[in-house]
Amino acid sequence: MCNHLSRCHAEAQPGPEKILVKLDLFSFLPFRLNRLAAEVSTALAEEYQQRYGLDIPGWRILATLGFREDACTAQFIAQCTRTHKSTISRAVNALLERELIERVENEDDRRELRLQLTPKGRALYHELVPRLKRREQEILSCLSARERDSLADALGKIERHLDLIQASHGHDDPVAVKQKASVG
């Protein structure tokens, strides 16, 4: 038995070299979300890669532009989709070559070029969306309607907590998007 309380406490506590903190990667939320996102993206990519020759960054550009009513910058798409700007740049060039998107001048600032779908790109977008929505339903078919709603709510809450920019806000200005998100 220890005579001094401080000595007993010191002996009971393992030294820094003895403390081993382990992380179960398969129960670690960031890993699980990343793995799930990769699997879902791969499952959806089957719909547009083989049939239409689109890669994931190309689809993300088409999806962002197809959802929006107005043109936007490649930088905005990179921010919204959390895709590196060089990856977006390569995908933009490929989509321009295929005449699925086009560059247009910003009416307020002629130095800035924005992207928008061409009629060919819009037709492809409208052809793909129902296929991808069906595939999404297949993926989520293991969840009840209530579980789907709960999942959407939980993901939205995490996204808001992390202050993610959403393409659905319809702004190219990240500051305006943040301000709008914090108000709503």
CATH number (domain holding residue 148)? 1.10.10.10
Would you give per-residue pLDDT tens digits along the chain (184 residues)? 444 444 444 455 555 667 788 999 999 999 999 999 999 999 899 889 988 999 999 999 999 999 987 899 999 999 999 899 999 999 999 999 999 999 998 888 878 899 999 999 999 999 999 999 999 999 999 999 999 999 999 999 998 888 765 544 544 444 444 444 433 4
Per-residue confidence (pLDDT) for residue 112, from 0 to 100: 85
* Position 19 in a domain: no
Structural domain that includes position 110: 31-176
What is the SS3 assignment for 130-184? HHHHHHHHHHHCCCCHHHHHHHHHHHHHHHHHCCCCCHHHCCCCHHHHHHHHHHC
* Position 125 in a domain: yes
Per-residue confidence (pLDDT) for residue 179, from 0 to 100: 40
Number of domains in the chain: 1
Per-residue confidence (pLDDT) for residue 28, from 0 to 100: 96
Per-residue confidence (pLDDT) for residue 13, from 0 to 100: 56
* Position 13 in a domain: no
* Position 155 in a domain: yes
* Position 119 in a domain: yes
* Position 25 in a domain: no
* Position 95 in a domain: yes
* Position 161 in a domain: yes
